Structures are given as structure tokens and as C-alpha cells.
């Protein structure tokens, strides 16, 4: 799924930005990462979420994935 389909205009998002994008709390975001449902990328000490990974997560939800 292309990130622009979900209006994702940046290449990567911070944890705080991702919580806003997905309307989820920080704990829920980290639970999704731990379970493998959402992929996080480290850049030094920062945790980032690539737009392609967020779009893939949203596509899975749209297709009827659990969460």
C-alpha cells in the first residue's frame, strides 16, 4: 500500500506523531511493536515509524485484521 493512500506525507514519523496518526496511546504503539504488528525503526536513540510500515499496518486493519 502506498503511504499517500493514507495521507502520509513524511518518510518517517516519531512515536508522538504516530500516536496522533493512529489515535492510539504510546503504550498501545509499543505493544503493537512488541507483537510485530507494527514495525519500528531505530535511528540512533530515536524510534521512528516509516510511512510505508504505517501504511501497511493500516491496510492490514482495513482488510479486517484484528486490533
Instruction: Encode the chain (67 residues) as per-residue pLDDT tens digits.
Output: 678 778 888 999 999 999 999 999 999 999 999 999 999 999 999 999 999 999 999 999 989 855 5
* pLDDT score, position 1: 66
pTM of the model: 0.86
Closest CA to 47 of 66, 34, 58: 34
* pLDDT score, position 6: 82
C-alpha atoms less than 13 angstroms from C-alpha of 36 in its C-beta half-sphere: 0
**Residue 6, C-alpha cell as written in the block:** 493514507
Amino acid at each position: 500500500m502506498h503511504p499517500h493512500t493514507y495521507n502520509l506525507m513524511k518518510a518517517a514519523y516519531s512515536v508522538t506523531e504516530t500516536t496522533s496518526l493512529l489515535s492510539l496511546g504510546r503504550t498501545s504503539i509499543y505493544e503493537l511493536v512488541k507483537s510485530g504488528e507494527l514495525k519500528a525503526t531505530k535511528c540512533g536513540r530515536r524510534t521512528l515509524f516509516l510511512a510505508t510500515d504505517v501504511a501497511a499496518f493500516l491496510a492490514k486493519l482495513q482488510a479486517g485484521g484484528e486490533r
